[in-house]
């Protein structure tokens, strides 16, 4: 299992140190939640802050857009060269076009599905993306309770990936902890995002290790 701590739960007064600490503690990706106050009822980081995060990080960035105007935000964040740049399918009229754009910028495109969104909604773009991010909470805030229907959704998505012989990773975001990670692994999940579980612990290294099942 790859582990992507969400810096949303970090201490923002010492963000650089926090980013360095999770990288040294062995995380695989640094998960960055970009919220615009419209698509979700919260507002987080712009490119100035994320650029500082990128400088402090020795691991690749995994940028999760939770915004209304995806195209505009892709232009803002692509210059920071994240490994993954993911947007919500619920908020995009032309996902296939935006995927091509992200790829043409040398970045791996990802699609995010809210808890209610079926995996069938991305059936015909499965071969065009490198990652699907399944939300296991409603986007907007850290520290929420895990929604268990994501397990079945991940299994269904695995079947679809096999049927289509597609090559992409499954990431789950929200309420992940040391207790539910094994079930996620068994459901075919490749990457877990964990915010409050990692940053709420007194030992980042052991929290991250406990997710590497």
- Which range in 1-9, 69-77, 88-96, 201-209 contacts ligand DX5 by CB under 6 A? 1-9
Catalytic annotation present for 36: no
Burial 36-45 (b: 16+ CB within 10 A, else e): beebbeeebb
Indicate the residue among 40 and 74 with the shorter CB distance to ligand DX5.
Answer: 40
Least distance (Å) from ligand DX5 to the CB of residue 104? 26
Asked whether position 88 contacts Zn ion by CB under 5 A, the answer is no
Least distance (Å) from Zn ion to the CB of residue 47? 17
Dihedral over Cα of 186, 189, 192, 196: its sign: negative
- Please, which residues have CB within 8 angstroms of residue 114's CB and are 6 or more apart in sequence? 88, 90, 135, 138, 139
Residues in contact with Zn ion, counted by CB under 5 A, come to a total of 3
- Which range in 19-27, 98-106, 132-140, 164-172 contacts ligand DX5 by CB under 6 A? 132-140
Asked whether position 62 contacts Zn ion by CB under 5 A, the answer is no
Asked whether position 197 contacts ligand DX5 by CB under 6 A, the answer is yes
Q: Is residue 19 within 8 Å of 53, Cβ to Cβ?
A: yes
Give whole-number Cα distances, 137 to 123, 133, 167, 199, in Å.
Answer: 22, 12, 25, 18
Catalytic annotation present for 173: yes
Question: Catalytic residue positions?
Answer: 33, 173
Residues that bind ligand DX5 (CB under 6 A): 6, 8-9, 31, 33, 64, 137, 139-140, 142-144, 173-176, 193-197
């Amino acid at each position: 299992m790859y582990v992507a701590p969400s810096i949303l739960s970090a201490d923002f007064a010492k963000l650089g140190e926090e980013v360095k600490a999770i990288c040294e503690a062995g995380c695989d990706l640094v998960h960055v939640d970009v919220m615009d106050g419209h698509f979700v009822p919260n507002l987080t980081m712009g490119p100035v802050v994320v650029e500082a995060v990128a400088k402090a990080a020795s691991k690749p960035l995994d940028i999760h857009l939770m915004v209304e105007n995806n195209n505009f935000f892709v232009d803002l964040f692509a210059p920071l060269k994240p490994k993954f740049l993911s947007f919500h399918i619920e908020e995009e009229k032309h996902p296939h076009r935006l995927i091509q754009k992200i790829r043409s910028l040398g970045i791996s495109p990802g699609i995010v599905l809210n808890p209610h969104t079926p995996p069938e909604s991305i059936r015909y773009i499965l071969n065009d993306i490198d990652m699907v991010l399944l939300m296991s909470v409603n986007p907007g805030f850290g520290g929420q309770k895990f929604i268990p229907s994501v397990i079945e959704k991940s299994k269904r998505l695995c079947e679809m990936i096999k049927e289509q012989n597609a090559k992409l990773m499954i990431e789950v975001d929200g309420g992940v902890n040391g207790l539910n990670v094994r079930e996620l692994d068994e459901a075919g999940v490749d990457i877990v995002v964990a915010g409050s579980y990692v940053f709420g612990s007194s030992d980042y290294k052991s929290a991250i290790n406990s997710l590497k099942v």
